[in-house]
């Protein structure tokens, strides 16, 4: 019963909204053309005023711009009739929000918007009961955008859609991550199985093992982590140039990965096997058209990557293929290399998420800053969005290194913070390498996939704990902080229980002849393993 209760709590934490701030929406339309509308994020205090949940039967108020005035004294109002019965926007200054509201209400304003050049948050203070106009904080960048897109002759209204009880996007990301790990780990094990079976006949080849694996030794693991550190720091300081390099590399890598994944399925189709000569070789027509399809998918994403309404679907398809292919291609030879690689990357993840805010000038987390993509109109809020300096910002460009799913349910939270739930490829691929090693070890030791299944379950549990921590702490979390201990611990416990820790630690590299012999005489092979 306790286990069931803990599982229900973990699932509920997975579904809970990641933030619970008091966000609202400023709805604006142009008076000369009511079809031209736009919405902006605002923060308000529910204890000060109550906003309607929808725009139905809402009363609009004409907006008066007093910026750059602060409204800290009555002298900031040139004429009383300028703001009478209007919504006004002023700059944030040294005086309190309530002092501004008293002056605004004294001149019969209907609404007070306070434009802030610093990160916005919930207004606070002991409100005087005599103040009854709505007070909201808004980004100054949004006010500038409002003037540029709709002009100054506009009317506005405030409302706050209810925060959904849960976000389906988090569930979908969880399923995608677990699916990638399962497919990549299973594929890696099948390649190992075919390699062991076909090794006595070196001329034979199969579709599954048509691509050579890249082995990550302890030395290459350390080198990989060092390069990752350097690249992340370079991305932080030179984002607006390097982001296009990463986008280009992703297009090439994702197209190749999609081809590798789909070609395994296409090869099983018994039709369309005709060939044509090309560069002294014969190429299958169906693989040629498959390559064109994969290139077209990658190019289409590159052209329309900023179309938030649908481009995320294509990015996720390419990302899934990239993660699955990388888990299959990168081969960790033993558990010792897995511990070293994942341990170093755990420290890397924790350092760049939790430690770098104490080092950077503006208190920014380098990992969150790079992963979410700086933009000129975004500000930092609980680790979800980032305020980018003009020197580093590449507007509207994000690194294609994440699985992204829109939160699907519109709310102030979605508009004010991140419209997407994100999970980095590294949080899928890196634990996936351990899952793949476990499956290969299962194949080598004929252990009925016990390592593979247990490590996959541990990954799913670690992902649940990650989302639960994200929900409770309401700040960015290094997923490897939870995924690495879960997967390493489960694999270690299975190896200790089966008394195979030494083999599991050093890697059990059977010769193909021995494996072939065990295939011919499984009874004798099982007796030998039992004797060991």
> Catalytic residues, which ones?
349, 427
Closest CA to 99 of 121, 120, 78, 71: 71
DSSP 152-211: S-EEEEEE-PPPPS--HHHHHHHHHHHHHHHHHHHHHHHHHHHHHHHTTSTT---STT-S
Helix extents (H) in 34-96: 80-83
Parallel/antiparallel/unpaired status of strands 214-215 and 330-331: parallel
Measured between alpha carbons, how far is 169 from 181 in angstroms, rounded to an integer? 19
CA 89 to each of CA 67, 151, 224: distance values in angstroms, whole numbers, following the listed order = 6, 14, 51
- Please tell me whether the peptide bond between 43 and the residue prior to it is cis, using omega within 30 degrees of 0: no
Distance (Å) of CA 437 to CA 395, 406, 494: 40, 33, 14
State the Cα–Cα distance between residues 32 and 103, nearest whole angstrom.
30
In 3D space, the residue among 295, 314, 296 whose CA is nearest the CA of residue 403 turns out to be 314
CB 188 within 8 A of CB 208: no
What does the block give as tokens for 275? 């060939």
Q: Give me 87's structure tokens.
A: 């919504």
Within 10 Å of residue 148's Cβ, how many Cβ atoms? 8
Tell me the longest C-alpha to C-alpha distance in the chain. 99
Evaluate whether 441 touches 419 at the Cβ level (below 8 Å): no
Per the CB < 8 A criterion, the answer to whether 446 and 529 are in contact is yes
Quote the CA–CA distance of 341 and 432 in Å, as a whole number: 12
Among 315, 318, 14, CA closest to 169: 14
Phi and psi (nearest 5°) for 131? -85, 120
Element (H, E) at 282: strand 281-284
């Amino acid at each position: 019963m306790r286990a069931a209760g803990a599982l229900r709590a973990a699932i509920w934490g997975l579904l809970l909204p990641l933030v619970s701030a008091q966000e609202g929406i400023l709805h604006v339309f142009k008076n000369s053309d009511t079809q031209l509308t736009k919405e902006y994020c605002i923060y308000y205090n529910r204890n000060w005023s109550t906003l309607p949940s929808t725009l139905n039967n809402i009363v609009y108020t004409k907006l008066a711009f007093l910026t750059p005035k602060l409204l800290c004294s009555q002298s900031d109002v040139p004429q009383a009739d300028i703001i009478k019965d209007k919504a006004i926007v002023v700059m944030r200054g040294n005086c309190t929000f309530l002092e501004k509201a008293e002056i605004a209400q004294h001149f019969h304003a209907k609404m007070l918007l306070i434009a802030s050049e610093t990160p916005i948050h919930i207004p606070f203070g002991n409100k005087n009961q005599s103040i009854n106009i709505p007070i909201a904080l808004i980004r100054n960048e949004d006010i500038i955008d409002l003037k540029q897109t709709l002009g100054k002759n506009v009317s506005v209204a405030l409302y706050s859609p209810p925060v959904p009880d849960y976000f389906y996007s988090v569930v979908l990301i969880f399923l995608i991550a677990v699916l990638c790990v399962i497919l990549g780990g299973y594929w890696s094990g099948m390649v190992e199985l075919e390699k062991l079976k076909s090794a006595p006949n070196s001329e034979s080849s199969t579709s599954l093992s048509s691509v050579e694996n890249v082995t990550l030794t302890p030395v290459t693991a350390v080198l990989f982590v060092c390069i990752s550190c350097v690249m992340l720091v370079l991305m932080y300081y030179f984002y607006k140039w390097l982001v296009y390099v990463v986008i280009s590399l992703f297009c090439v890598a994702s197209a190749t990965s999609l081809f590798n994944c789909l070609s395994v399925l296409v090869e099983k189709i018994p039709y369309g096997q005709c060939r044509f000569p090309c560069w002294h070789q014969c190429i299958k027509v169906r693989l040629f058209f498959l390559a064109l399809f994969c290139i077209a998918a990658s190019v289409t994403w590159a052209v329309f990557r900023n179309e938030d309404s649908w481009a995320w679907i294509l990015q996720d398809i390419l990302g899934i293929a990239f993660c699955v292919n990388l888990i299959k291609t990168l081969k960790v030879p033993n558990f010792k290399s897995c511990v070293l690689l994942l341990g170093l990357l755990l420290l890397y993840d924790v350092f760049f998420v939790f430690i770098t805010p104490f080092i950077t000038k503006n208190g920014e987390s380098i990992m969150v800053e790079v992963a979410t993509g700086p933009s000129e109109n975004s500000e930092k809020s609980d680790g979800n969005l980032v305020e980018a300096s003009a020197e580093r910002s590449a507007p509207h460009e994000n690194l294609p290194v994440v699985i992204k799913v829109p939160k699907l349910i519109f709310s102030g939270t979605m508009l004010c913070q991140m419209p997407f739930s994100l999970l980095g490829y590294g949080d899928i691929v890196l634990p996936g390498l351990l899952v793949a090693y476990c499956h290969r070890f299962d194949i080598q030791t004929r252990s009925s996939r016990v390592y593979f299944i247990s490590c996959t379950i541990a990954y799913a549990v670690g992902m649940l704990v990650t989302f639960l921590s994200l929900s409770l702490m309401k700040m960015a979390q290094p997923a490897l902080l939870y995924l690495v201990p879960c997967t390493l611990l489960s694999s270690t416990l299975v190896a200790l229980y089966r008394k195979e820790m030494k083999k599991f630690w050093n890697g059990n590299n059977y010769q193909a002849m021995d494996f072939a012999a065990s295939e011919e005489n499984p009874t004798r092979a099982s007796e030998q393993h039992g004797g060991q």
